Structure formats: structure tokens, C-alpha cells
């Protein structure tokens, strides 16, 4: 289905259900879709599983969603940071589940979900705690771990610019997980700084083609 | 044929973190593609000479990363793996996370430099989790780098603050990767992990014999 341009972030996140798996873009705050997360807080969905590189920074964005008690489980590579106090308190109080995934496996598992790959053998983590209980195979003398896809019900991503067909352009390292998550969820919602007329983005520079994007919204400019 | 030669005692005392970073920088070949782990390895960038041709990779999707951003250069869209604002150098390239880690696992990076809690005599690396009951585990990209880069350099103090060796017969902390470390830069010595065992390349204010006693490990002369 073609991309819908939403009037505001509340319209963009409408319909997210309790218990959903939500892929949240960003590496730290770079690329974090804060306006969409704030709208999701207002929308009220709870018991969520969030897949993101980190488990919130400071008190805004993903950290704010955690602080509201809406997240049952976080799947991430690097929860512990100098400014992850919201997650740290919830985790130490036993109020949130954590699944730590090596960062490259996190990305590749979502890539697999988006690319129709049923599973893949990956050398990362072989012989470590993070591979415990997972099937392994020795290929050409090296041990690989069988990793399954991570598919989201919803992906919330931040990009720099979109056209009305949902073609996305990112900016610098704020790209990070956006293009991968955009392929890996049933409903993909992008917030951008600017929506431009279709035809004004050079097709050679499109990073996420609009086929992956269901809804797009321009961040409110304060 | 090469013959064993005694490790060089440089006569210098224990190195500080800048001294270790300078040694690592000295040993990175011209034109290498390099990933520097967060924390002390980041300091290596400050010691690369002008014209080194070294291209820095950052896991969050960039090649030819420049130094830390200052003042007006600070851009929230441009950070390094430690979320510190950085700059781009001419010839920089951006890419998404799956590509960034494919570069690691695919063997395209020449060297990564990582910190460590422990390294074993066979090159096992432990640097992500202390295993303590109240610790929050966080692995980031360490496991991907450890098994992906063509050469893995570790930069660490040789002993903990309480004097326990960090180069050990077998790691007691949870592992990051098995048999993945090639070289260890420490405040007291530089070691190579070889198929024959741990070889000492150079020492700083200590003899190989003294090190072998304190580490309770057999040490080979540099090859």
C-alpha cells in the first residue's frame, strides 16, 4: 500500500496495540524518533517489547516510554550507559526484562526479517553466554551460531527528509538502524524533519525506498 | 627462518594510557582500516601521525571519522560509538548498521583495538560483562569486532587495581570471543598471542623474568 502522509505524530502512531513488538531506531539520541515515541506515550499502548540499540538515554525519547511503565521487555545490544538511569532502575527493581543481543546480530536479525531469510549462521558470540542454548554448526572449521529473524509489528524511525511517496533520506550517523528497521516491521512509521514534493529527491540518493514506509510525518517545528 | 631474540627492555617505566595509545598508533600500518573501541582505545586516534592514511571506522555507520567535534562543529546527527560528537574527514562515507557490521564480520577491517577485563594465554577475550549479580550486561559491538577484524589488539593495564593479573591462563569473566586476540598492549609490556604461547615483544621497566613470576605464565621471547 502506498505511504500515507500524516497530519501529526498522534495520527502516525494510531492503532499500535498492547503487547506489540516495536522497533525503535536511533543510536543513543542520533536518529531517535522522539516525536513518535512521545505520541506513543499519549496513545497509551502498553506491555510492549521494544527492540532498539540502547535502552534509553536521559529522560526523553525511549527513556520516557520506559519511565511510563509501558515496556515489558527490551531487546538491545547496549543498555548500560552513563545516562541510562531510567532503564537501570527498572532493571534492578525487576520491572523490565532484558535480552542482550550483539549489535551486529541485532541488525542482521532485523535485516533477515525484512529480506525473507528464515535464519542464518553467524560467527558472532560463538562459545559465549549469548550463544547458550542456540544451535551451532561448524562450517569450514569455524563455529557459527544459528540466529533467527526479529520482526516488528511496528517500526518507529527517524529520517532527515521524505517525499510524499515515503522515499527517505537520512543524515550522517543518524542513519544507523533506520534503513534496516524500515524493512522489518508490519507497519513502518517515519518521522522526518521535512516532507518535500515527490520528484525533488534525487532517486540516486534515496536510502529507504517508499515501498517500506507506511506512514510519514513531519516533526512539528517549534 | 627467524631466530628468537630477547624482548627489548626499553628502560622506560610503566606507561600511562597515552603511552599505550602511542605504541598502538606506532604499530598500525599505513592505510589501515581501523575500529577503535570506546574508552581508552579512542585515545589511539590522537597519536596517529599526520599522513598515516589510517581510515577510522565507527560501528554506528561511518568510515573516515574525524576528531571530536568542538563548538560550532557539534552536530547531534554525527557521533561516534561512544555517542560523542565527532567530525567527518574528506572521503568519509555513511552506511546503515547491517552494512557496518557486515564490514566487521566479513573481514574488511584490518585492525580493531579493544579494552579488556581479561585476556587468556590462548587469546580468549573477556571485556563485556563482569558476571556480578547486580551488573547490567551490555555487549554493544564488541563480540562482532572480536571475531571480525583481521587483527585484534587489546589495550589494558596488565594488573587490576588490586594487583590481579589480567593476562591469565584461562578467563574467569564471561567471554567476548574465543582465540581472537592477536596482541596486547599494557603499561608494563607488549605481548603477542602465538600458536606456541604468549611472547613478549617489549617491556617497560620490568624484566621478562619478573613478569613471568607475577603472571604465573610461561613467557616466550619475541619471535
- Nearest CA of chain A to the CA of B132: how many Å? 13
- Give the nearest chain A residue to B92 (CA atoms): A172
Q: What integer pLDDT is reported at residue A161 of this predicted model?
A: 98
- Nearest CA of chain B to the CA of A10: how many Å? 24
Which residue of B80, B88, B98 to mutate against A (max A Cβ within 10 Å)?
Answer: B98
Q: What percent of chain A has pLDDT over 70?
A: 99
The 10s digit of each residue's pLDDT in A165-199 is 999 999 999 999 999 999 999 999 999 999 999 99
Q: What integer pLDDT is reported at residue B173 of this predicted model?
A: 96
Which of B77, B98, B139 lies at the smallest CB-CB distance from A173? B77
Q: What integer pLDDT is reported at residue A149 of this predicted model?
A: 98
pLDDT tens, residue order, chain B (223 aa): 333 445 666 767 899 999 999 999 999 999 999 999 998 999 999 999 989 999 999 999 999 999 999 999 999 999 999 999 999 999 999 999 999 999 999 999 999 999 999 999 999 999 999 888 888 999 999 999 999 999 999 999 999 999 999 999 999 999 999 999 999 999 999 999 999 999 999 999 999 999 999 998 999 987 6
Q: Give B-chain residues touching A112 at CB under 8 angstroms.
A: none
Annotated domain spans of chain A: 4-117+149-218
Q: Which fold has domain B8-221?
A: Glutaconate Coenzyme A-transferase (3.40.1080)
Which of A80, A108, A172 lies at the smallest CB-CB distance from B75? A172
- The torsion angle over the Cα atoms of residues B101, B105, B109 and B110, rounded to 10 degrees, is 160
Q: Give B-chain residues touching A52 at CB under 8 angstroms.
A: none
Annotated domain spans of chain B: 8-221
Q: What integer pLDDT is reported at residue B1 of this predicted model?
A: 35
Q: Is B59 an annotated catalytic residue?
A: yes
- Nearest CA of chain B to the CA of A192: how many Å? 13
Q: Is residue A193 classed as helix, strand or coil in its secondary structure?
A: strand
* CA distances for A221 relative to A15, A65, A152, A178, A193, angstroms: 24, 22, 29, 21, 8
| Interchain pair B138, A79: CB under 8 A | yes
| Interchain pair A172, B88: CB under 8 A | yes
Give the pLDDT band (50/70/90) at residue A23. Answer: very high
| DSSP line for A75-126 | EESB---TT-HHHHHHHHTT-SEEEE--HHHHHHHHHHHHHT---EEE-TTT
Yes or no: say if B128 and B137 are a contact pair by the CB < 8 Å rule: yes
The 10s digit of each residue's pLDDT in A110-163 is 999 999 999 999 999 999 999 999 999 999 999 999 999 999 999 999 999 999
Architecture label for domain A4-117+149-218: 3-Layer(aba) Sandwich (3.40)
Q: What is the pTM of this model?
A: 0.95
Amino acid at each position: 500500500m502506498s505511504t500515507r502522509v500524516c497530519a501529526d505524530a498522534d495520527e502516525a502512531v494510531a492503532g499500535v496495540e498492547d503487547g506489540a513488538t516495536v522497533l525503535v531506531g536511533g543510536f543513543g539520541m542520533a536518529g531517535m524518533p522522539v516525536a513518535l515515541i512521545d505520541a506513543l506515550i499519549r496513545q497509551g499502548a502498553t506491555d510492549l517489547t521494544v527492540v532498539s540499540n540502547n535502552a534509553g538515554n536521559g529522560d526523553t525519547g525511549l527513556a520516557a516510554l520506559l519511565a511510563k511503565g509501558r515496556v515489558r521487555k527490551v531487546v538491545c545490544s547496549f543498555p548500560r550507559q552513563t545516562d541510562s538511569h531510567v532503564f537501570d532502575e527498572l532493571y534492578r527493581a525487576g520491572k523490565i526484562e532484558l535480552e542482550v543481543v550483539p549489535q551486529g546480530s541485532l541488525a542482521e536479525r532485523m535485516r533477515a526479517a525484512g529480506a525473507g531469510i528464515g535464519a542464518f549462521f553467524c560467527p558472532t558470540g560463538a562459545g559465549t553466554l549469548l550463544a547458550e542454548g542456540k544451535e551451532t554448526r561448524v562450517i569450514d572449521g569455524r563455529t557459527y551460531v544459528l540466529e533467527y529473524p526479529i520482526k516488528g509489528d511496528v517500526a518507529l524511525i527517524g529520517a532527515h527528509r521524505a517525499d510524499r511517496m515515503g522515499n527517505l533520506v537520512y543524515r550522517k550517523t543518524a542513519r544507523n538502524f533506520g534503513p534496516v528497521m524500515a524493512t522489518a516491521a508490519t507497519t513502518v512509521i517515519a518521522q522526518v524533519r521535512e516532507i518535500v514534493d515527490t520528484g525533488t529527491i534525487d532517486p540516486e540518493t534515496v536510502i529507504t525506498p517508499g515501498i517500506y514506509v507506511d506512514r510519514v510525518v513531519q516533526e512539528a517545528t517549534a | 627462518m627467524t631466530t628468537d631474540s630477547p624482548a627489548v627492555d626499553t628502560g622506560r617505566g610503566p606507561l600511562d594510557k597515552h603511552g599505550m595509545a602511542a605504541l598502538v598508533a606506532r604499530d598500525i600500518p599505513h592505510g589501515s582500516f581501523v575500529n577503535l573501541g570506546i574508552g581508552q582505545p579512542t585515545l589511539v586516534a590522537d597519536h596517529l601521525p599526520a599522513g598515516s592514511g589510517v581510515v577510522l571506522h565507527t560501528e554506528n555507520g561511518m568510515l573516515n571519522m574525524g576528531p571530536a567535534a568542538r563548538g560550532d562543529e557539534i552536530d547531534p546527527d554525527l557521533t561516534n560509538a561512544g555517542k560523542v560528537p565527532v567530525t567527518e574527514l574528506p572521503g568519509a562515507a555513511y552506511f546503515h548498521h547491517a552494512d557496518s557490521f557486515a564490514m566487521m564480520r566479513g573481514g574488511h577491517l584490518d585492525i580493531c583495538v579493544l579494552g579488556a577485563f581479561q585476556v587468556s594465554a590462548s587469546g580468549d577475550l573477556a571485556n563485556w560483562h563482569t558476571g556480578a549479580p547486580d551488573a547490567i550486561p551490555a555487549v554493544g559491538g564488541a563480540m562482532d569486532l572480536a571475531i571480525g577484524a583481521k587483527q585484534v589488539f587489546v589495550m589494558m593495564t596488565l594488573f587490576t587495581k588490586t594487583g590481579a593479573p589480567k593476562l591469565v591462563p584461562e578467563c574467569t569473566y564471561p567471554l567476548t570471543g574465543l582465540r581472537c586476540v592477536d596482541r596486547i598492549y599494557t603499561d608494563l609490556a607488549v605481548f603477542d598471542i602465538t600458536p606456541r604461547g604468549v611472547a613478549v615483544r617489549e617491556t617497560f621497566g620490568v624484566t621478562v623474568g619478573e613478569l613471568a613470576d607475577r603472571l604465573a605464565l610461561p613467557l616466550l621471547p619475541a619471535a
